[in-house]
Structure 1
């Protein structure tokens, strides 16, 4: 079980994905994210959703709605169960698909895009490239936040996305990208 760390759902427990390959954003990093960013009234997109815990933190901290992209059927089932436990189904849209296919179909603008791909497999790099190719989903005010291993080197730019800030939490690095000129 995981606990929500912030906001109105703080302390509520959710299920983990029954798959040992799933890695979770640590509680200290989730708390730090909510201290860095005010998600109130935001429309957010989470890619590589896992249990949904980061999106649930967003909702708990005031996000208007969340969209989660997740390819694992086990994880999608867990996200659905967790959203029912938390009674937030009305604020959640779940896309059970590979991120490459899903990103091509999105046309909605997001205020915040959060990625937590498997570490050190080059997927963070690929996902940032795919996001930069779909200019329909972000604008000059959108924050693109990537959680990755500090050993994984990301580029400073991806299309018109530029690295704005970085934060370190042990082995985890949070990189925040914005649209150039934003």
Structure 2
């Protein structure tokens, strides 16, 4: 796995072996960012289920100013820290070592891009989006990118957001919500 494009493009990323995380393939990651960007002019990104940190690192590589990564698994946290170190831009990343629900209680400021790629067995996307909206953590032009198993049907609308784009890539489905 690697960073697909941007200032860190081509650099290798480490992933966690085993079943606790499910890394987004380079192909799907490239497709996601081509769908929503492909590049950004600043902003803050929240990666609520970081795994290896690949999606947040890709967002910063493509122009986001700052990333907040949330991961509860200790082994995944170590991988994220190694991947962040590889960027040599550690100041652009904050790793919160906790589960998503605890992080949602503690987050502050506004996010311009939110990446929701929970483990397939724990679909909490609807609840997470509602909490982010209720806590006023989302900018007016925020994009919410949800990656799920292709069999998962997310609602057309969640809180004040509606589906903007949706595509299936192999076993994964990517759904993008906007206001």
- TM-score above 0.5: yes
Is 2:44 aligned against 1:43? yes
CA distance in 2, matches of 1:154, 1:177: 10
Q: What does residue range 122-137 of structure 1 map to in structure 2 within 5 Å?
A: 122-134=123-135, 136-137=136-137
1:12 to partner: Cα distance: 0.8
Q: What does residue range 101-180 of structure 1 map to in structure 2 within 5 Å?
A: 101-134=102-135, 136-179=136-179
Tell me what 2:86 maps to: 85
Is 2:35 aligned against 1:32? no
Question: Any gaps of 5 or more consecutive residues in structure 2?
Answer: none
Contact kept, 8 Å, 1:100 with 1:130, in 2: the verdict is no
Per the normalisation by structure 1, the TM-score is 0.89
CA distance in 1, matches of 2:90, 2:56: 12
CA deviation string 1:40-71 (max 9, x = no partner): 31211111001111111112111111111111
Question: Any gaps of 5 or more consecutive residues in structure 1?
Answer: none
Contact kept, 8 Å, 1:119 with 1:149, in 2: the verdict is yes
CA distance in 2, matches of 1:80, 1:25: 18
Contact kept, 8 Å, 1:18 with 1:74, in 2: the verdict is no
After superposition, the CA RMSD in angstroms is 1.6
DSSP 3-state at the match of 1:51: coil
DSSP 3-state at the match of 1:141: strand
CA distance in 2, matches of 1:71, 1:130: 19
DSSP 3-state at the match of 1:3: coil
CA distance in 1, matches of 2:29, 2:86: 20
CA distance in 1, matches of 2:32, 2:17: 25
Per the normalisation by structure 2, the TM-score is 0.91
Is 2:49 aligned against 1:54? no
Tell me what 2:6 maps to: 7
CA distance in 1, matches of 2:105, 2:8: 32
